[in-house]
């Protein structure tokens, strides 16, 4: 029955909760590592071990469960095939495990573990060193008072073993002298190894790196000596640089790191890999610092080959679109020269490689092939994510995953690859494949290693990619794509449609598994995810067609895609809804204002509704300028013309025409799109008599991703749409 048309509200809610509980059992794999156990000298069979880290929602504890799974398999080096895959033990929960890293020989594993504080005390962090048989060391790193909290995030954080396995590198917050009031009396003498308290600095503003990186201000590089348990902060990093993504240099004599410039002030860094930075090499004694890259590029993910004579990294143009096509660069450690392996692709060939677009902004730890000639990475490719092999010698690109759906590369060892795979009707799986000398056009022969909860969604949900042509009067004529997902109907009843534009705006709606989409489809709704012009994965020229045209080009693209689906006869044309978050909320608000009789109801998560007022409130004021078609300056002050232009592109200019019942969901700790945006929109709707509801989630930031908030938001959105069905 489409969208529970015949169900009373309480029955529909019971069904929605049941569906969410079922789908929440699906776990996703985020990390995996393959190890060679032993080889039979009398055969061509090798025993391999695969460790993988998974995450699953726990609705009873309202948190995400993290756990490790271990599999063993046999690998035939002649036929390049995996067989006899088995999971000899149950998953092991890794709650409060923040980082983990295995040494190069496989003898040791380092774990950073958080231990929650008792009765209001601060959390502790312990650095554990394990052998394969026992706990070797356990260090209370914060008690050593050499630095602040260790960074566990993917932006700065790392846990890197030296080749000798005597040292570990990590990144932590700088330990500052205690700041006190002018009138605070000193209690006893200050220890000689500690700096004296700084009077009058108790209330100094501490500039951090913004959304999801709150309180991360001044990272430092730390070396842990395994032999004598010494913790040492490396000197030599300039004060105006925030260090992260640290790697060991050749012979363990130096470290390589990415350094982001702090001055004149920090801008939001998460989802924004275009901040001014450089790649550096620093000697362990701190006396030699060398800048390896030109500051015209923002770099990330430095990765050495096995010989450590070549260093590859990703590079994007400084400023502009926060996500865009990147370059794969290579630094020759011996010759001290830099070369471009893969450049920006402006206009891809039809169906061809569109360039490198890395949504998650990181390369896998082990991305080089064993021969040292090629690099493997994931990239957005139109409406999917694929794994590609890039030959650094002849600069060719080979697609390893032509099958429909989305793939994420995880690891390689001895030419055996690990990856995660999912699609809109297939929950995540851990996959493996051998990398042959000659790769067929059909890609690699992937085999499933593990899956999570079995949901037979193939029998319940279908999906397809649609091509949409822009309007004839459009300046930029390129076609774009949308993904149409719908429930399998047991009768001729047509489902209502939810139009779902993505955020960004330079992001992408991909064909990977989505809890939200699976739940909504199982509740009877069809979904249209629109990759309007300006999305990732279609070439840099198309991406750059959107800035200065937000509020018009993207709005028209979404509406045209919706009309195309309605014209197909596959959905109920009298029941069309719309939802989106961030820039997707911006588009939702625009569309219900410009087409007030088209959508039955709307739901918005942390929407941008007034670009002009975001400038002084958001951690990314540069976004407001660039998407408005202007250059950002750190000392920019809005003049009347710019203010008017930003305001005219904002959906709030159409609010007086809005009749659509609107649900607004806000994360109270959102620094990217301040909650004041959605609250203002809600209050005006209420004042003018438009039906509206506001949900405000404490301790949630821009994604509203904590389990209790995420589940509440989804059920309330489904309920909102069900309430406003034209039955």
* 147 in catalytic set: no
Closest CA to 603 of 629, 635, 622, 581: 581
Query: Has 702 been annotated as catalytic?
Result: yes
Given the residues 554, 557, 622, 670, select the one marked as catalytic: 670
Angstrom distance (rounded) from CA 218 to CA 208? 8
> How far apart are alpha carbons 294 and 300 in whole angstroms?
13
Is 582 a catalytic site residue? yes
Measured CA to CA in angstroms, residue 461 lies from 147, 456, 464, 530, 725 at distances of: 51, 9, 11, 18, 21
- Selecting among 162, 374, 582, 612, the annotated active-site residue is 582
Which residues are CB-neighbours of 579 under 8 A, at least 6 positions away?
A: 498, 499, 500, 588, 602, 603, 604, 605, 717
Query: Which of 71, 147, 590, 702 does the annotation list as catalytic?
Result: 702
216 contact partners, CB below 8 Å, separation of at least 6: 151, 153, 156, 173, 208, 209
3-state secondary structure of 7: coil
As a dihedral over the C-alpha atoms of residue 541, residue 543, residue 547, residue 548, rounded to 10 degrees, the angle is 50
Among 317, 308, 255, residue whose Cα is nearest residue 280: 255
Q: Which of 467, 649, 657, 658 is nearest to 560 (CA)?
A: 467
The single residue listed with the structure tokens 């064993």 is 370
- 293 phi, psi to nearest 5 deg: -125, 160
For the record, the structure tokens of 156 come out as 């700065």
Phi, psi of 145 (to 5 degrees): 55, 35
CA 216 to chain CA mean position, Å = 18
| CA distance readout (Å), 724 to 4, 13, 382, 713 | 12, 14, 34, 17
Which residues neighbour 351 within 8 Å (Cβ) at sequence distance 6 or greater? none
How many whole angstroms separate alpha carbon 480 and alpha carbon 207? 40
429 within 8 A of 388, measured Cβ to Cβ = no
Catalytic residue ranges: 582, 670, 702
């Amino acid at each position: 029955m489409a969208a529970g048309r015949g169900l009373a509200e309480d029955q529909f809610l019971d069904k929605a909760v049941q569906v969410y509980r079922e789908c929440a059992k699906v776990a996703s794999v985020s990390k995996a590592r393959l190890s060679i156990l032993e080889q039979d000298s009398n055969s061509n069979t090798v025993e391999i071990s695969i460790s993988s880290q998974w995450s699953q929602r726990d609705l009873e504890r309202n948190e995400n469960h993290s756990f490790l799974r271990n599999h063993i398999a046999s690998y035939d080096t002649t036929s390049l095939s995996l067989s006899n895959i088995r999971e000899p033990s149950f998953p092991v929960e890794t709650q409060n495990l923040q980082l983990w890293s295995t040494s190069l020989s496989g003898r040791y594993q380092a774990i950073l573990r958080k231990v929650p504080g008792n009765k209001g005390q601060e959390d502790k962090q312990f650095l554990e060193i394990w052998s394969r048989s026992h706990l070797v060391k356990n260090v209370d790193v914060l008690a050593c008072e050499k630095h602040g909290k260790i960074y566990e995030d993917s932006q700065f954080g790392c846990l890197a073993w030296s080749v000798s396995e005597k040292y570990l590198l990590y990144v932590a917050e700088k330990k500052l002298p205690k700041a006190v009031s002018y009138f605070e009396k000193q209690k006893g003498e200050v220890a000689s190894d500690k700096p004296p308290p700084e009077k009058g600095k108790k209330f100094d503003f501490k500039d951090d790196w913004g959304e999801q990186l709150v309180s991360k201000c001044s990272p430092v590089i730390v070396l842990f000596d395994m032999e004598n348990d010494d913790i040492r902060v490396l000197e030599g990093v300039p004060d105006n640089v925030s260090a992260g993504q640290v790697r060991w240099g050749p012979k363990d004599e130096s470290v390589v790191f990415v350094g982001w410039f702090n001055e004149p002030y920090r801008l939001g860094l998460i989802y924004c890999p275009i901040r001014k930075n450089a790649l550096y090499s620093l000697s362990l004694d701190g006396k030699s610092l060398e800048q390896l890259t030109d500051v015209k590029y923002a770099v990330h993910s430095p990765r050495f080959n096995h010989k450590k004579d070549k260093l590859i990294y990703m590079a994007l143009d400084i400023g502009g679109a926060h996500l865009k096509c990147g370059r794969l660069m290579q630094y020759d450690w011996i010759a001290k020269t830099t070369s471009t392996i893969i450049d920006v692709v402006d206009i891809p060939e039809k169906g061809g490689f569109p360039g490198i677009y890395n949504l998650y902004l990181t390369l896998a730890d082990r991305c080089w092939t064993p021969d040292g000639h090629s690099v493997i990475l994931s990239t957005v490719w139109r409406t999917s994510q694929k794994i590609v092999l890039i030959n650094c010698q002849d600069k060719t690109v080979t697609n390893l995953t032509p099958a429909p759906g989305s793939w994420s590369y995880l690891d390689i060892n001895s030419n055996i690859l690990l990856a995660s795979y999912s699609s809109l009707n297939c929950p995540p799986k851990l996959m493996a494949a051998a990398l042959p000398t000659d790769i067929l056009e059909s890609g690699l022969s992937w085999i499933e290693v593990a899956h999570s909860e079995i949901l037979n969604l193939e029998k319940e949900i279908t999906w397809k990619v649609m091509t949409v042509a822009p309007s004839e009067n459009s300046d930029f004529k390129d076609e774009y794509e949308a993904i149409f997902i719908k429930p399998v109907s047991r009768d001729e009843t047509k489902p209502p449609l939810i139009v779902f534009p993505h955020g960004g705006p330079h992001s992408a709606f991909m064909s990977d598994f989505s809890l939200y989409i699976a739940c909504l489809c199982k509740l009877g709704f069809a979904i249209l995810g629109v990759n309007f012009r300006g999305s990732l994965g279609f070439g840099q020229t198309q991406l750059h067609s959107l800035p200065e045209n937000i509020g018009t080009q993207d709005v028209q693209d979404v509406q045209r895609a919706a009309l195309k689906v309605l014209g197909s006869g596959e959905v109920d044309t009298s029941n069309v809804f719309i939802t989106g978050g961030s820039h997707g909320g911006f588009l939702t608000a625009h569309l219900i204002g410009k087409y007030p009789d088209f959508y039955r109801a709307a739901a918005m998560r942390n929407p941008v509704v007034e670009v002009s007022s975001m400038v002084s409130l958001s951690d990314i004021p540069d976004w407001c300028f660039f998407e408005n078609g202007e250059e950002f300056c750190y000392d920019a002050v809005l003049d009347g013309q710019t203010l008017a232009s930003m305001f005219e592109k904002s959906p709030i200019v159409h609010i007086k025409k809005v009749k659509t019942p609107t649900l607004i969901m806000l994360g109270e700790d959102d620094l990217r799109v301040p909650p004041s945006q959605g609250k203002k929109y809600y209050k005006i709707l209420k004042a003018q008599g438009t039906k509206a509801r506001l949900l405000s989630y404490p301790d949630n930031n821009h994604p509203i991703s904590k389990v209790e908030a995420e589940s509440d938001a989804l059920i309330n959105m489904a309920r909102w749409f069900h309430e406003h069905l034209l039955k």
